[in-house]
Amino acid sequence: MSYAVEVENLRVRIGGFEVLRDLTFKVPENTIFTVMGPSGSGKSTLLRVINRLIDLIPEAEVSGRVVVLGRDVFKADPYRLRTRIGMVFQTPNPFPHLSIYENVALGPKLNGLVKSKKELDNLVRWALEKAMLWEEVKDKLDVPPLGLSGGQQQRLCIARALAMRPELLLLDEPTANVDPINARKIEDVLISFRREGGVTIMMVTHSPPQASRVSDYIAFIYMGQLVEVGPADQVFVNPRNKLTERFLRGEVS
């Protein structure tokens, strides 16, 4: 089996506080891998190490080895790396100064992934369809995204990430600020996208039910430490660690 992400002895300190302590795990290719854990356990930081957005926090000290899509992230060019890794954030953050269309088109256009306007149009439509948003916005592609509901904005952000044709898609609590119906839609988007193959999805969530609905693999992180990692069925049905069991029962938060 080959892996999209390999993490070895990863430690992160931010301002003297140990956010991640000695993490080691592997994310198999073409799966949905969910990182589960209570708020403040370092899950978001983990995602930001994988695509080097951690660089935006100058006081962060990182050690260990992280190999993503066959490249050592700390030796790779972060900009090139990020063109292969999409990311969706906890708060929907479509660019407010661009139209719906331009939000999706921005990445491919500025990175020179398309050769013609026609190709770009097709790509934007494809991404919006994959994000199950096309039907809702096809008549207002040139309006700013702020008129959309929170859930629609989040799906727009997913489309923006998908338009880059990422090999790895990172999602940082994508449904935390979204109503339940939109949350389900987003889960459906992920599951159907995974089914097509060619992409590995790594999602962070603090909700065990959500993790159980979408995941192939689950890692449980608590206070910056990896408590348990394994196939989703096994972690849910037969957790090896008492702490995992208690978290699944809703006793740890």
Partner 1 sequence: MRDVSSRREAERLSLVRRIKDKLFLVILVVLSMAAFLPLFHIVASILYYGGWTLLRGGLSFLVDTPPSPLSSNLGGIGPALVGSAVLVFLTVILGLPLSFMAAVFTVEYPNTLVARVTKLVCRSFTEIPTVLIGVLSYTLVVIPMGRFSALAGAVALAIVMVPYSYTYMEESLASIPRTYREAAYSLGLTRPRAVFSVFTRIARRGILTGVLIGLAKAAGETAPLLFTIGGLRHAYFNGPDHPVGAIPLLIYEFALTPYRVYREVAWGAALVLIAIYLVIFVVLRRTVREVRM
**Where does this chain bind partner 1 (CB under 8 A)?**
51, 53, 56, 58, 79-87, 89, 91, 93, 95-97, 106-107, 110-111, 144, 146, 157, 160-161, 164
Between 76 and 137, CB nearer to partner 1: 76
Between 172 and 228, CB nearer to partner 1: 172
Q: How many CB atoms lie within 10 A of CB 233?
A: 12
Q: Which of 9, 95, 11 is nearest to 54 (CA)?
A: 11
* Rounded (5°) CA angle 43-94-204: 15
Specify the 3-state DSSP secondary structure of 69. coil
C-alpha 57/C-alpha 48 separation (Å) is 10
Helix (H) or strand (E) holding 144, with range, is none
Q: How near is the Cβ of 52 to partner 1 at its closest, in Å?
A: 9
Between 30 and 93, CB nearer to partner 1: 93
User: How many angstroms separate the Cα of 3 from the Cα of each of 21, 28, 31, 34, 70?
Assistant: 22, 4, 10, 15, 8
Q: How near is the Cβ of 154 to partner 1 at its closest, in Å?
A: 12
C-alpha 244/C-alpha 205 separation (Å) is 14
Between 17 and 79, CB nearer to partner 1: 79
User: Six-digit token pair at 151?
Assistant: 């859930």
> Can you tell me which residue has the tokens 């338009």?
163
User: Six-digit token pair at 250?
Assistant: 């809703």
Between 86 and 174, CB nearer to partner 1: 86
Sort strands 217-222 and 32-36 into parallel, antiparallel or unpaired: parallel
Between 73 and 232, CB nearer to partner 1: 73
